[in-house]
Every structure is written in C-alpha cells, then in structure tokens.
Amino acid sequence: MTTTTLPKAHSSIVEATELPRIIKVSDNLYAAAFSLMKLLPARHIIDRAEADGLLSPGTPVIETSSGTFALGLAMVCGLRGYPLTIVGDSAIDRDLRTRLEMLGTTVEIVEHTGQPGGIQGARLARVEELRRLQPDAFVPGQYDNPDNPGAYSIVADLIGDTVGSVDCLVGPVGSGGSTGGLAASLRPGNPALHLVGVDTHGSIIFGTPDGPRTLRGLGSSIHPGNVKHAAYDEVHWVTAPEAFHATHELYRAHGLFMGPTSGASFQVASWWAEHNPGSTVVMVLPDEGYRYQSTVYNDAWLHAQGIVPAPAPGGPVTVEHPLDATAAWSRLLWARRGFDDVVMPEVDS
C-alpha cells in the first residue's frame, strides 16, 4: 500500500510568501527573488514585540513608509487585528493606498516643508506627534530597530542550503535591513563574503548630497541606524534610466517580473558576476513588478518623466570619494570602513 504525504498547508499568506525563491540566473549568479521582501521583517518585528509584551489585542501600531514595508505591515497587522496608521508621502500611489486601506490601514500623507531629513524627516516628525497622542502605541521603527536585519537570518539559512558558500552578496540599501542582516548571518561561515550595496544619486546613506530621487525604494534622506557602513566592501550609485533598463532586461531575458530596486540590484550584480566569473554571486530582488505596471513598465509614464531607459556603456566609473560620483553609474571601494572614515578621511599633516 502506498502512503501519500500531503504537503503542509501554510498558516497564512504571510508564511506562504515571506521567503524568496532562489533562482539560478547565469553560471555564477543567483537571485533571491521575493514577492514582497518587507513582509518578512514586518512579521518578525511584530512577533518580537508580541513576545516582549509590547503588543496586546487592540494596540495601535504607527509607522512611516511609502512603499513595501507599509504593505507588509498592513498585511500582518490586518491579520492579527492591530489598528495600523501609516505615515507616508506622495510616493504612495492610488493603487497602493487602496490596498492599504482595504486592509484596514489609516494612511496619512505628509508634505516636505523644509525639515531636516527631507520628506523622510517630515514623516518621522509626524510619527512622533502621533506617538505623543497615543502613548500606548507601538512604533516598529524599521530604520533603527535591530529586529529588521535580524529577520533575515532565515533567508541566509535558505541561501546556504540552496546555493552553498556565497562569495558576493549584492542588494539595494534603504533601511539597511536586508543587506546588513544577510551579511551578518552569512559571514560567520565565510568572513570573506564581499558585500555590495546599491544606492542611487540624491541619497545621503553613503555620503552623496541629498536630492530628488526618481529611483524610489532605495536610498534615503536620513542615516538609518540599521545601515552598518563598516559591513560594506563596495558601493554603487545607479540612475533611474539605467535601473529601469535593467528592470526591463531582467524580465525580457530571465522572465523575472520585478520592481525597479530589483532592476538596480540586477544591474550591479550581473556586472560583478561577469567580471568575477569564479565567484558565486547572490543578488537580492525585493519585490515583484505588479505595482509598477503603470510607471516603470509604462512607456507613456516614462516619456512624461523624460526618462529613456538605457544601459550604462562600459559599466561603472570607479571613484575615490562619494562626492566624485558622476551623474551616471558610479562605484566606490568602501572597504568595510566607517562613514566618517570614507566621507571625512584624516589628512596626513
């Protein structure tokens, strides 16, 4: 008699989708492709808060996000019955706002009025106002909460079990959770792991001047506490036209329909893998492309923005200082140095 073992049913959509698929893209390049990467730290942070007694039935949750962390948190809070308020900005498009509100989320949109830290500073200031009005509320604090990077140890285990030893990890940097958390979990087994952070112009994370960013979902106008600069071996700054081209190419060539931060990651990782053919490279692809069908994948929107997706001929320009980063794809060998050591190095007398 043959006994058939049925697959285990997942306890929720969160459990079913929080982990990435590991996909071999080329001879030495693998993708950790998430449906919604920020679902994982959102669930982990809420789990830890519950375990620490910071959340009980009906506790309000307040957070700032204009992207996928808002959606991940809305899914978790909606399923567990926590009233959620998201403080965002104009980057929350109509479709995302509809999804958030259908999950029971209250969405507040703030404007940049000149506060330090740009629009992110304005959002954080509003979160503090709401916290004072609701002192019993829980604020996940994705930028500084160590449970954000701590969530990725399970992904590191999955990568190790699937790929084996990894020589280079490439991923976009926003809050610092995914790249920092994965590197921290992978390096005990391989201290030489080369960590490459992908940023964009107009982001201050790695020392370039603050400014407008057409390429959203990575970069920042504040310094997140979860970005441990000394963990990074290399930093790349990419532009929207390059990253959008790479996003399209990732779909055309590999069938991976992903968002623009994934395109930015693919742009850098594919170049790095090609120039280091003996190394095993894993790139982080944070979310799928469905949210971007009317923007990054839409010719009319691209034309209205004055953006012509195009690759960077010849690859990145290597610079010695963040302020030397050109208007195109630039690369700096960060060499696991602290922020001040790179941005304000001592001058020999």
pLDDT (0 to 100) of residue 113: 64
pLDDT (0 to 100) of residue 8: 82
Contact 140, 45 (CB under 8 A): yes
Both tokens assigned to 15: 């459990």
Dist CA 111 CA 126 (whole Å): 10
Dist CA 263 CA 250 (whole Å): 7
Provide the 8-state DSSP code for 56: -
Q: How many residues does the chain have?
A: 349
Contact 144, 137 (CB under 8 A): no
Which residue in this structure is represented by tokens 């839409």? Answer: 298
Dist CA 280 CA 122 (whole Å): 41
pLDDT (0 to 100) of residue 118: 79
The β-bridge relationship of strands 84-88 and 61-64 is parallel
Strand order in the sheet with 281-285: 21-24, 29-33, 281-285, 168-172, 194-200, 234-238, 330-332, 317-319
Q: Which residues contact 232 (CB under 8 A, 6 or more apart)?
A: 179, 195, 196, 197, 206, 334, 336
Q: Which residues of 178-208 are buried (b: 16+ CB within 10 A; e: fewer)?
A: bbbbbbbbbbeeeeebbbbbbbbbbbbbbbb
Both tokens assigned to 142: 């994705």
Provide the 8-state DSSP code for 323: G
- Helix (H, G, I), strand (E, B), or coil: what is residue 256? coil
pLDDT (0 to 100) of residue 129: 94
pLDDT (0 to 100) of residue 21: 97
Question: Largest Cα–Cα distance in the chain?
Answer: 84
Dist CA 265 CA 29 (whole Å): 12
Dist CA 261 CA 241 (whole Å): 12
Dist CA 26 CA 269 (whole Å): 11
Strand order in the sheet with 61-64: 61-64, 84-88, 106-109
Both tokens assigned to 256: 């991976």
- Helix (H, G, I), strand (E, B), or coil: what is residue 249? helix
Q: Which residues contact 68 (CB under 8 A, 6 or more apart)?
A: 36, 37, 38, 39, 217, 286, 287
pLDDT (0 to 100) of residue 349: 38
pLDDT (0 to 100) of residue 216: 87
Mean pLDDT (10-residue bins), the chain, 349 residues = 74 93 97 97 97 95 93 96 94 91 95 73 90 95 95 97 97 96 96 97 94 89 94 98 98 98 98 97 97 95 96 93 94 97 71
pLDDT (0 to 100) of residue 344: 87
